[in-house]
Amino acid sequence: MTPASLDAADDLARFRDEFVVDDPRLIYLDGNSLGRLPRRSIVRVAGLVEAEWGGRLVRGWGEGWMAAPRRVGAKLARLLGVETDEVLVADSTSVNLFKLAVAALRARPERRTVVTDDLSFPSDLYVVQGALDLLGGGRQLRVVPSPDGLTVPTDALAAAVDPDTALVALCHAAFKSSFVYDLAAVTDAARRAGAWTLWDVSHSVGAMPLALGAARADLAVGCSYKYLNGGPGAPAFLYVRRELQARLVSPIWGWLGHATPFEFAPTYTPARGIDRFLAGTPPVLSMAALEPAVDLVLEAGLDRIRAKSIRQTEYLIERWEAELAALGFALRSPRDPARRGSHVSLGHPEGWRINRSLIEEMRVLGDFREPDNLRLGIAPLYTTYSEIHEAVARIGRVVRDRLYEKYPVERSAIT
């Protein structure tokens, strides 16, 4: 089938019009890093600024602003496959990870090990290292190495979990290779050893259905600026299984996590449920941008989003095989769609300079991850088959015509 006929048959095609597509010649393949701007978010933010901030002033706190972490959290709960009182929107992913890791480690001091892998987003590793450093007491990190740099077998992880393991802290989808864990199987293996799981779902939320509740996952965090299209620096979320909420105390004793914040008591008493994981004032403008963006994902439906994501990553891999493999590109993502997220990484010794050329002269915006990966993100709500086809053609041209040779090999500060 031609890319145009695939687009014509696409049941999610209408959602592209929900987003600002400023330059139709620009092929945007970085929605796995920063999603496009939803038109509804413009309307919602503008409305909030004028009518609510401008008109309602401080009354806005009682008219929806203070409730936003729980209200938007309840919508996210549907994407995570959990209950509405188990999710909050707050802070950044890094901060939420810290809050949950410290709370979990403190709750069971007799278990001293955190198991993770070397595919995790480095910030997650740093945050967990920082939590272990803070708590001390002989606690340590056990990093399960990926045998191929792309995947980690469930068996290898399960073998690393023992009665000393407090937490298994993993990224559900790997930021570089796109490898996706079997969340239920890993959670089950951890539980059998008495360990809790802490999942970072930043690279899978909004791109595939998640069933954290059915898997009985314990804890999770994630960001909302990738496939959820919440905007640059959009607030993150956290999930705590209901049965654990009373046992865990956030290390940040902020007033909004207090049982009765507006009594302004001088000592801290944590709120009863998930609210105890709030810290300070919610970022109301960012929440306003995020909420309609989440509504769009709910409207489209995660089953349809995942089905299209798989079709499009398969299509990209087919195009790689036909056009790019012979030009020195290696597939650096799993072949099995069940184990692959919504981006595809292609390795090439000149990956950095090829990406420079794609950005500077080819109007293809993906990104680059060391040492040599072009990371191409599929965002099913707005990525078209024609874009994928054309992007592959442009990548091929950059290599065949050696266009990349005029760019320096030195990396820039932000990649």
Stretch 122-151: interaction string toward ligand PLP, x if CB under 6 A: -xx---------------------------
Cβ distance to ligand PLP smaller for residue 178 or 357: 178
According to the binding rule CB under 6 A, does residue 203 interact with ligand PLP? yes
Q: How far apart are CA 179 and CA 378, in angstroms?
A: 14
CB of 242 to ligand PLP, least distance (A): 24
Identify the residue whose tokens are 């929440």.
287
According to the binding rule CB under 6 A, does residue 369 interact with ligand PLP? no
Q: How far apart are CA 70 and CA 2, in angstroms?
A: 45
CA distances from 71 to 35, 82, 131, 136 (A): 22, 14, 29, 37
Catalytic residue flag (residue 225): yes
CB of 183 to ligand PLP, least distance (A): 14
According to the binding rule CB under 6 A, does residue 236 interact with ligand PLP? yes
Residue 173 three-state SS: strand
Choose the stretch contacting ligand PLP; rule: CB under 6 A; options: 9-17, 86-94, 237-245, 407-415.
86-94
According to the binding rule CB under 6 A, does residue 245 interact with ligand PLP? no
Amino acid, single-letter form, for residue 100: L
According to the binding rule CB under 6 A, does residue 10 interact with ligand PLP? no
- What is the CA angle 204-338-17, rounded to 5? 50
Catalytic residue flag (residue 339): no
Residue number with the smallest Cβ distance to ligand PLP? 94
Positive or negative: CA dihedral 179, 305, 229, 276: negative
Q: Which of 28, 121, 277, 329 binds ligand PLP (CB under 6 A)?
A: 121
Considering just the CA atoms, what is the radius of gyration of the chain in Å? Answer: 22
CB of 50 to ligand PLP, least distance (A): 28
Stretch 206-235: interaction string toward ligand PLP, x if CB under 6 A: -----------------x------------
The 3-state secondary structure of 98-119, one letter per residue: HHHHHHHHHHCCCCCEEEEECC
**DSSP assignments along 191-226, one per residue:** HHTT-EEEEE-TTTBTTB---TTTTT--EEEE-SSS
What residue ranges bind ligand PLP (CB under 6 A)? 92-94, 121, 123-124, 171, 175, 200, 202-203, 223, 236
Catalytic residues: 121, 200, 225-226, 375
